[in-house]
A and B are shown apart, each in its own frame.
Chain A
Amino acid sequence: MGLSEHFPALIVAVFIFAAFLSPLLYRWARHLSAAYLVVTLLAAFGMVIALLVQVQHSGPVYYHMGGWPPPWGIEFKADALRLYILLVVIGVSLWVFIYALRDLQHELKRRVIGWYYTLYALLVGSMAGMALTNDLFNLFVLMEICAISACAIISIKEDRECLEASFKYLILSAMGTGCFLLGVVMLYMVTGYLNYSFMQAELVEAFNYYPRNIFTAAALFIVAFGTKAALFPLHVWLPDAHASAPSPSSAMLSGVVIKIYAFGLFLMFYEVFPPELLRTIPLNEIVLWLASLGAIFGSVYAMMQSDLKKMLAFSSIGQIAYIFMGIGFNHDLAMVGGFYHLMVHAVTKAMLFMAAGVIIYSTGIRKIEDLAGIGRVLPVTMIAFSIGSASMVGLPGTGGLISKWFLALSALEIGRPVFVIVILASSLLNAVYYMPIVINAFMHHHEFGADFKPVPRVMKACMIAGMIFVVVSGFYTTPVVNLLEQAAELFF
Chain B
Amino acid sequence: MEILKGIIDNYYYMVAIILFVIGMYTMLTHSNMIKKVIAMNIMDASVFLMFVAVGYAHGSQAPIIREGADVLYANPLPGALILTGIVVAVSVTAYALSLVVKIYRYYETCDYDEICEIRSRE
- A: residues with CB less than 8 A from B are 137, 140-141, 144, 147-148, 151-152, 155, 158, 160, 163-164, 166-167, 170-171, 174-175, 178, 181-182, 185, 188-189
Contacts and interface: CB of A to CB of B under 8 A. Distances in A.
Given A148-B95, A167-B33, A167-B96, A160 B50 contact: no
A158 B43 CA distance: 28
18 contacts: A137-B84, A140-B88, A141-B88, A144-B92, A148-B91, A160-B103, A160-B107, A163-B99, A163-B106, A174-B27, A175-B24, A175-B27, A175-B43, A178-B23, A178-B40, A181-B85, A182-B20, A182-B50
Contacts of A170: 92, 95-96, 99
Given A152-B95, A163-B106, A174-B40, A182 B88 contact: no
Given A155-B99, A163-B103, A167-B99, A137 B81 contact: yes
A409 to B, nearest CB: 40
A142 to B, nearest CB: 10
B50 to A, nearest CB: 5
B22 interface: no
Given A141-B88, A178-B43, A181-B85, A164 B103 contact: yes
A154 to B, nearest CB: 10
A167 B24 CA distance: 16
Interface in B65-114: 78, 81, 84-85, 88, 91-92, 95-96, 99-100, 102-103, 106-107
B102 A163 contact: yes
B2 to A, nearest CB: 14
A125 B84 CA distance: 18
A185 B100 CA distance: 31
Given A163-B102, A167-B100, A178-B44, A151 B51 contact: no
A148 B94 CA distance: 11
A461 B20 CA distance: 50
Query: Of B24, B40, B88, which is in contact with the most chain A CB atoms at under 10 Å from its CB?
Result: B88
Interface string B38-80: 0010011001001100100000000000000000000000100
B51 A171 contact: no
Contacts of A147: 92
A147 to B, nearest CB: 8
Interface string B20-40: 100110011000010010001
A185 B24 contact: no
Interface residues of B, number: 30
A148 B103 contact: no
B6 to A, nearest CB: 11
Nearest to B44: A178
A164 B44 CA distance: 22
Contacts of A189: 54
A181 B23 CA distance: 14
Nearest to B54: A189
B95 A151 contact: yes
B47 A182 contact: yes
A163 B96 CA distance: 10
Contacts of A174: 27, 40, 43-44, 92, 96
B20 A178 contact: yes
A166 B99 contact: yes
B102 A171 contact: no
A137 B24 CA distance: 21
A148 B92 contact: yes
A401 to B, nearest CB: 40
B80 to A, nearest CB: 10
A148 B88 CA distance: 10
Contacts of A163: 99, 102-103, 106
Contacts of A137: 81, 84
Nearest to A174: B40
Contacts of B115: 164
Contact of B106 (A141, A144, A155, A160): A160
Nearest to A151: B95
Query: Of A152, A174, A182, which is in contact with the most chain B CB atoms at under 10 Å from its CB?
Result: A174
B88 to A, nearest CB: 5
A369 to B, nearest CB: 21
- 6 cross-chain pairs, A with B, having the tightest CB-CB distances, nearest first: A144-B88, A167-B99, A178-B43, A181-B47, A160-B106, A174-B40
Contact of B51 (A141, A158, A185): A185
B92 A185 contact: no
Contact of A158 (B20, B47, B88, B102): B102
A163 B105 CA distance: 11
B67 to A, nearest CB: 23
A85 to B, nearest CB: 23
Contacts of A141: 84, 88
Query: Of B24, B47, B91, B115, which is in contact with the most chain A CB atoms at under 10 Å from its CB?
Result: B47
Given A141-B88, A152-B95, A178-B20, 11 more contacts: A137-B81, A140-B85, A144-B88, A163-B102, A166-B99, A171-B36, A174-B44, A175-B27, A178-B23, A181-B51, A182-B50
Given A164-B115, A174-B40, A185 B99 contact: no
Query: Of A152, A185, A189, which is in contact with the most chain B CB atoms at under 10 Å from its CB?
Result: A185
A137 B77 CA distance: 11
Nearest to B40: A174
Contacts of A188: 51, 54, 78
